[in-house]
Amino acid sequence: MTSVTRRGFLGILAGAATGTAIGVPLLSGLRGSTSTGTVLRSQLPLPQPFTLPLAVPPVLAPARTDETTDYYEITQRAAAAEILPGVRTTIWGYNGTFPGPTIVSRSGRRTVVTHHNELPVPVVVHLHGGRTPPEHDGYPTDLLLPAGADAAAAAHHDHHHLGGNVAQGRRDYVYPLQQRAATLWYHDHRMDFTGASVWRGLAGFHLVRDAEEEALPLPRGDRDLPLMIADRSFAADGSLRYPSLDPTLLTTPGVSEPYGAGVLGDVILVNGVPWPVAEVSAVRYRLRLLNASNARRYRVALDPPPAGGNGLVQIGTDGGLLARPMGHDAIELAPAQRYDVVVDFGRYRVGQDVTLVNQFGDGTTAQIMRFRVARGGSDDTSVPDRLSEIAPLDRASAVVTRTMRFRHGDVNGMSGWTINDQPFSPDLINARPRLGTTEVWRLVSDFHHPIHRHLAHCQILSRGINGPGPYDHGWKDTLDLRPAEEAAIIARFDGYAGRYIFHCHNLEHEDMAMMGNFVTG
């Protein structure tokens, strides 16, 4: 999409959506100090928490393998799911499920995922946290059009996006995975419609394993639980409720007033199940916490906390293992962030209920899920004092310091979200890092903005006049940038030459222009 086209559709919105425009409610959009956004209420009775069992997404088997590569097949399609008991909800899912199937890859071994599009709209797939060549990274205009008759209509509606690398029906995404073991995830990344598409279900886990991590005595197997936390809202007929200006997701992007600051649901789903319960043994478990919400931030804690505190022992973050474990009583997760923690349920008595709560929530959003310590068990696992080696990047080695300002502002006469006072355009390049060099980026915010940069993982140097915060250690791909805050991050740009993006992962902000380009070369 060119900047001219973006001005064009913003003008259409301004003329056609009076009273339902994508304006940002600067007061109601700030929910205390927890999340930027507005709650969208469900319109039907909600189930009692902790009555449905936790579901774990199935691990997808390769369609075939050879000496260097595992090949997978995924079909994106609409399907009916029973998310709320006795209610049928139409989702858009990878292989028709929400979350999609989990892919488990080996570090350094190539993975090829062939996506087939049987949805009525174009799609884009981004492996979030992947170090991926640009043509496979899921650039927002690299559309995969629907197969068959729907392709012509989708191309007609999306003609302004067709400057990208466009395919029809199917596309191979190639992931070299020259990176550490980590909890990654994949999701839709189509320009202007990411929020609505992810809300409908296009998200799944992609786990990378390596020998370093497997040599550690950490919980594994069925005691290694990926937990995708996502808030949603439901309409009276059981459908997923989302305030799109165009429910077909074909023509007009954006959401109605007052949701331009972010859409917050009132139902907390874990792996697609509302407030589930999981029976566990009195042993250590690894919980891979992923915030897959559009805009909601969480502060997760155990209730009751174990005697002595530090019930959440963090071992990893977006980019894999920490150098050493860190004990927390609570952990804050902004959208798209991942935290791997070990919880020792042996610190509780058999028969006890332990609730994972959200200290940033209230009412229905104050609880996430429950663990029931159902039995004793033998435990040969432990959390070593040292997990990995992480060499700190030297600020003195940075060849340049750049400033990126993320703020609400006027976008061609409309309320929107900008970077350095400019809305996103594929033609606008915000930075040109040279391959092999290190840069410092100063990130400055007005409201909450979880800032995600593709390709180059970073280390966090500072927040304001202080050093990194308690959740800022290790390799990160998403920074929880708080209101009126300045943070500094450092990264080495290597791996691949080409065009990549960085953006706010409040998906309503992203869809309304808070995205920028950088070109490595």
pLDDT value, residue 150:
56
CA distances for 82 relative to 33, 69, 85, 276, 499, angstroms: 34, 35, 6, 14, 40
Give the integer Cα–Cα distance in Å for 65 and 498: 29
Q: Is the pLDDT of residue 20 over 90?
A: no
Structure confidence by residue, pLDDT tens digits, 32-79:
459 999 999 999 999 999 999 999 999 999 999 999 999 999 999 999
Within this chain, domains 55-214 and 221-375 share the same CATH topology: yes
Structure confidence by residue, pLDDT tens digits, 278-334:
999 999 999 999 999 999 999 999 999 999 999 999 999 999 999 999 999 999 999
Instruction: Let me know: does 68 contact 105? Beta carbons within 8 Å.
Output: no
CB atoms near residue 82 (< 10 Å): 12
More confident residue, 438 or 8: 438
CATH number of 395-520: 2.60.40.420
DSSP secondary structure code for residue 160 in this structure: G
CATH domain 55-214 topology = Immunoglobulin-like (2.60.40)
Structure confidence by residue, pLDDT tens digits, 479-519:
999 999 999 999 999 999 999 999 999 999 999 999 999 99
Residue type, 100: G
Residues above pLDDT 90, as percent of the chain:
89
The pairs formed by 94-99 with CB atoms below 8 angstroms and a separation of 24 or more are 94/186, 94/202, 94/203, 94/204, 95/60, 97/57, 97/201, 97/272, 98/201, 98/203, 98/272, 99/57, 99/201, 99/203, 99/204, 99/205, 99/228, 99/271, 99/272, 99/292
Q: Maximum CA pair distance of the chain? A: 66
Region 417-424 average pLDDT:
96
Q: Is the pLDDT of residue 233 over 60?
A: yes
Q: Is the pLDDT of residue 15 over 90?
A: no
Give the integer Cα–Cα distance in Å for 123 and 359: 35
Q: What homologous superfamily does CATH list for 221-375?
A: Cupredoxins -  blue copper proteins (2.60.40.420)
Instruction: Let me know: does 340 contact 287? Beta carbons within 8 Å.
Output: yes
Q: Is the pLDDT of residue 26 over 70?
A: no
Structure confidence by residue, pLDDT tens digits, 172-181:
999 999 999 9
Indicate the domain borders of the chain.
55-214, 221-375, 395-520
pLDDT value, residue 304:
98
Structure confidence by residue, pLDDT tens digits, 78-111:
999 999 999 999 999 999 999 999 999 999 999 9
Instruction: Let me know: does 520 contact 514? Beta carbons within 8 Å.
Output: no
pLDDT value, residue 10:
37
pLDDT value, residue 414:
80
Region 460-480 average pLDDT:
97
